[in-house]
Every structure is written in C-alpha cells, then in structure tokens.
Structure 1
C-alpha cells in the first residue's frame, strides 16, 4: 500500500504535469507559399519539439498563390506571417496595416533571373524578353532598371510556368534560387542563374512579421517563437530530415529530390548564414541595411515618409537577444 506521503507526491507530480501541459501557448504562423524546404526551419522546430521547449504549441499554416496572408493576419486567422521581404512589410505598414517585423531568416533574397546559355550578365539582357510577375514591378525591377538600363517594354507576365522560357532562347525569366532553376535543369535546358543579392540587391526575405497588438499583448510568446525558430533553422541546415517529413505531409507534391536541391542551394549560397548572421546570428537584421531598404522605397515613391517612419515597422530586440550563430 502507498503511504499518505507517497500519494501526496504522486498527486503533486500529476498536478505539475497538468500545469506544464496547460502552459503550452497556442501560436499560429502562416507561410507565403506551399510547404517547401525554404520553410524548413519552421517545420523543423515543430518536428524536433523546439517550440514546445519554449512553451509553445505552434501550428504552421501554408500560404499559396491565391492566399492573402496579410488580410488573414488582419482578420485574426494567424498570429504572425512570413513576409516575402522586409520591403513588402514596410509597404504594408505604410498602407495602414500595423505590421511589425521581428526577424528575417534569409540574409540574401533568393530572387534570381534565369537566362539561356551565353548570357554573361544583366547587361546582356537588354535585347531579351523578360518574364516577371506583376509584383516585381514594385520591387526589384525598379532596381534592375536603374542599375542596368533594362526597360519596361521588355517585360511580359511570368505565369509561374517555365515552358515559355524553355521554348524561347531569347527570354529571361524570374525565379527563386531554390526552385525554378531546378525545374529548368530537369527540363534539360542549359541556363545560367543570376542571384540579385550577389549584385547589390539588399532586401531581406522570409520574415517573421506580426501585428503590433500581437507583439504588445503576446510579447513572451512572440519572443519565444523567434528564438525557437532560429534554433529550428540551425537544426534544419544540419539535418533536414525531421522538418522535411512534415513538409511532405503538408505538401504531398514535394519530392525528396527537390528538398535536397533546395537545401543544397540555401547552404551553397549562404542564404541564411551569410553576412551579419555570421556574427549576430540567424535571422538578424541590421539597422543600417533597413535604412538603405527604406530609402529605396521612399526614393521610388512606394512609401510616403510622412506616413511611415522606418523604426515603426520593426522591433529588433527579440532577434538581438536570440543570437543563434550558424
């Protein structure tokens, strides 16, 4: 028979266990596309229990081409979102949505141009048809025009289908370093990829962005999410298998081959670990670079400085305190 003392200890243990379970704070993060290796650190933090380690019960929701994640966050359908870039989030803030960016996983924006064999640089694209999505017209395309003299008359809509590029050697198309070049390679086309970030494009990508009220009212959960996520990315780059399994569960069309290619490119090109991340940690954002990006938006009249002060669009204390070195 158990003594009264033993029964009391067991009861206390059960209560503590129940309290620990209740302490798991539900938190939702929505990505900007279907599940893929480019979201790996978030899935890894779920798969390996890192979020639970910090008291969070995290759900990762997929975005997609027809999903407006900004609107869904404004409607309370998710706590935070994956912004495509810090510039995108600044434009949204200037437009009236009180969004605040806390970190940027990608130190290099993976946006690329893909050209057929023989094109040596952006200067060689002046006589090419260039396929870009409409959103690019209010982003990197402005930079490319100013730096390399490309013209609006060259552009045609990119429909996220590589076949027009494959069929016409006089075309250049946009892409994501970890995605479209792989599809072009699989199609048997010899092509060259030009990463904007290696030519002076300074935008951060893959942000953690939340509404101001969320940051204010759920500060502990938000800070924990930032820290666990960066640990998740470090873990994913070391061994992507746990995160990859969840990615394929959410997106059954994703293949092991595509994941392996994407992870390889993330590592090879230092998308996550380059620059300031080497010293300040994964997800870091420098105020000097943010000022540069803000100035670009102001100069191109994408942001009215009377409606947005740069410092209102960011809160960097969580990522500065995290410092998960690659």
Structure 2
C-alpha cells in the first residue's frame, strides 16, 4: 500500500530531480533515511474501516524475531507481536538486544514477532487486533483516539524527545533559531510532515508567509545541492549523512523549541491493558532490559552489529553509520528524568507539555485519555535494579 512517506526500497528522485550521480552516502540514505516521525497517515479520511487493507499491506513485510532460547524457561504468554514504525535499523536496537539476549524468552514469551515497517498507522493495527503492541507517537495515537474513538493508551515512550529538526548547512544558510527560518526556503516532505512543521511554526509565532516551503523527498540531496536552505530531518539520521559528505550540519530541534513531543511510544488497547496486565509487564521488563543494554557503554556498537548483520541484513545498512546513529539516539532516550525514574517513563510535567503541544497542532485530548503509565510504575517497583536509564 502506498503511504505518505518514501518506502525503504523506493529510489525515486525528489521533486527537484536529484542527480543520478549523488554521492554514495546519500544514495544509501535513500534506503535507510528516516521517514516522517509521525506514523499517522491520513486515517481521518480512511477511518478504521480501512484497517483490514492496512493490515494486508503490512503483513507482507512481517518477520519473526528468532528469540534466543533459555534452558528451562517456561513460556506462559505465548506469542505476541510488536509493530515497528520503520525498517529494521538501529532505531530498534533495544528490541534486537531483548530478542538476541533471550530477555523475551525469559519473560515468558514463546516468540515476540518484530513486524517491520513502515505502515500507515501502527495505532490502527493495534486497535484492530492485528498486532499486540505498536510503536507510534503521541500525536499519531491522539488523532486515532479523538477522530476514530479508538480505545488506545500509551504505556511508555522510548524517546523522551522527538528527533524532528530543521537541518541546514554551515556552508549554506544556517538556521540556528526559529527566527532564522524567515526568508528561507525549507524542504518539507508531503503529508504529515507538513502538519507537524505547521505546528512548529505556530508554536514559535512564525507566519508561514515569512518563509517558502517546497516539496522534497526523504533524502537530503536537495539540501546538499543548495536547492533549499533547510530540510525536515531526524537528528539521529540525516545530519550524520551530510556530515559524512563533508558538510557541517546545523540542527534546529523541534523538541527544544516549542514542540516537546516524544516518539517511539508503546501503544496498546484498553482491553489488553485491563485484562493482560501481567503479560504487558513482562513485555515491558524485557524491553527495559534490552534498551538498558543498548544505551550502556558499548551498547551502540553492539547494537549496530545486530542491526547490520542480523535483523536488517537485507537493508544495505553500514556499521559505522548505524553506530553513530545509535550513539546520537542515546541522547534522546537517556535523560536526568529517566536516570531517576527509569527509561520509558514520562514525568507528569512532560505529559502535560505533550498535551499542550498537541493543542498547538490542533489535537485536544486529556492526558488521562492518552497515557497510562501504571504498568511501568509496577515494573520498576518490583524491579528497582532496572532503573539505569
């Protein structure tokens, strides 16, 4: 099924017609460059009635985590599935660690299937019962709840900060502050990125008429070709790619400038939350163990080897690039709050700021209708040694 973002194997040029002689690293970016951080794509029109079609599209790209076996382990929760928001790359290093080190098996699962993305909406697949847990984002989940009445909750968040940014070049017209956007030409990917960028402008009291927005693709060739001044990117991806081509990246973080949304949130149905709490707690414990390993000293390098040589071995990934991206994403996962409370947790203040940010982009929802962090509270109370974040 066609989505609003470039698929992992699509090498179509951007609307500006990127040169076929693009540098090697940027050619690789066509395969691994991150898509819109929003996983919600046009469900307002399609509705949950289209979930079966979405599921049919995603099923072709599903694959199962092998799960290291543990002698004597008794599986009590059977098989579950986790919908990833993108292709199997370093972004899911915690899941790769949890699987390869047998944490899922020790937690009582026969198998945790890591369903590869991208998909139109992980939230819709969760609501339909196609997958057990989905990796999404607060804005995506909130839209499905408010527009479709889907009974969903966010039970944790891998990223404490969303990685969205405006990427510019020191060699061009660097954009260091929101005010620097005025008079610039910004490349924005068609679809949900336009919505989130509009929210970013609104949060910073910038009139869209004060800058020029043009359609661009999901690789930064238009930026490096100096056809645009700024490019909507992921802090953990495209800045590393352009630096590898000899440019000096300048980034303007959305999370640090008025739009403090998180990302890679765990979404489940209210029914699962109510009736399968022990299963979800076991899953979260295994996830925490995997991510603690992924962000520990040596974790990024070990995770990169797993992403390149095992889980994403058919994606054309490079160990050096994946290691750099893994190192950068630690900054988005590990904060003073997670070191005190444990990874995946969201403080009351952060939850309140997310709700305010959602209001800026036109989504009105109560925190109690979007978040339920009680499972994490119980996991950390029962396993205080897991608080390493």
TM class by smaller structure: 0.7 to 0.9
Kept after mapping to 1: 8 A contact 2:84/2:115: yes
Does the C-alpha gap of structure 1 residues 129 and 18 become closer, same or farther in structure 2, counting only changes over 3 Å? Answer: closer
Q: Partner of 1:188 in structure 2?
A: 246
Kept after mapping to 1: 8 A contact 2:167/2:249: yes
1:151 pairs, out of 208, 231, 235, with 208
Distance (Å, rounded) in 2 between the aligned partners of 1:140 and 1:204: 15
Q: Partner of 2:126 in structure 1?
A: 73
**How far 1:161 sits from its partner (Å)?**
2.0
Kept after mapping to 2: 8 A contact 1:48/1:242: no
Distance (Å, rounded) in 2 between the aligned partners of 1:191 and 1:250: 29
Query: Structure 1 residue 86 and structure 2 residue 138: aligned?
Result: yes
Query: Structure 1 residue 325 and structure 2 residue 388: aligned?
Result: yes
What residue ranges of structure 1 are gaps of 5+ in the alignment? Answer: 1-16
Deviations 1:19-59 (A, max 9, x none): 95442521110111011212111111111111112112311
Q: Partner of 2:117 in structure 1?
A: 63
| Secondary structure at the counterpart of residue 117 of structure 2 | coil
Query: Structure 1 residue 127 and structure 2 residue 183: aligned?
Result: yes
Q: Where do 1:1-326 residues align within 5 Å?
A: 20-56=73-109, 57-64=111-118, 66-83=119-136, 85-95=137-147, 96-117=149-170, 118-119=173-174, 120-133=176-189, 134-147=191-204, 149-151=206-208, 154-168=212-226, 170-238=228-296, 239-240=299-300, 243-248=303-308, 249-251=310-312, 252=314, 253-267=316-330, 270-303=331-364, 308-323=365-380, 324-326=387-389
Does the C-alpha gap of structure 1 residues 237 and 299 become closer, same or farther in structure 2, counting only changes over 3 Å? Answer: closer
Distance (Å, rounded) in 2 between the aligned partners of 1:51 and 1:158: 40
Kept after mapping to 1: 8 A contact 2:123/2:134: yes
Does the C-alpha gap of structure 1 residues 148 and 189 become closer, same or farther in structure 2, counting only changes over 3 Å? Answer: farther
Kept after mapping to 2: 8 A contact 1:25/1:221: no
Kept after mapping to 2: 8 A contact 1:158/1:174: no
Distance (Å, rounded) in 1 between the aligned partners of 2:158 and 2:276: 21
Distance (Å, rounded) in 2 between the aligned partners of 1:107 and 1:18: 36
| TM-score normalised by length of structure 2 | 0.71
Does the C-alpha gap of structure 1 residues 243 and 55 become closer, same or farther in structure 2, counting only changes over 3 Å? Answer: farther
Distance (Å, rounded) in 2 between the aligned partners of 1:318 and 1:201: 26
Structure number with bigger Rg: 1
Q: Which has the higher contact order (CA 8 A, sep 6+)?
A: 1
Kept after mapping to 1: 8 A contact 2:300/2:327: no
Does the C-alpha gap of structure 1 residues 263 and 34 become closer, same or farther in structure 2, counting only changes over 3 Å? Answer: same
Distance (Å, rounded) in 2 between the aligned partners of 1:151 and 1:140: 10
**How far 1:222 sits from its partner (Å)?**
1.0
Does the C-alpha gap of structure 1 residues 297 and 259 become closer, same or farther in structure 2, counting only changes over 3 Å? Answer: same
Q: CA RMSD in A?
A: 2.4
Aligned residues: 302
Kept after mapping to 2: 8 A contact 1:73/1:79: yes
Distance (Å, rounded) in 2 between the aligned partners of 1:200 and 1:230: 29
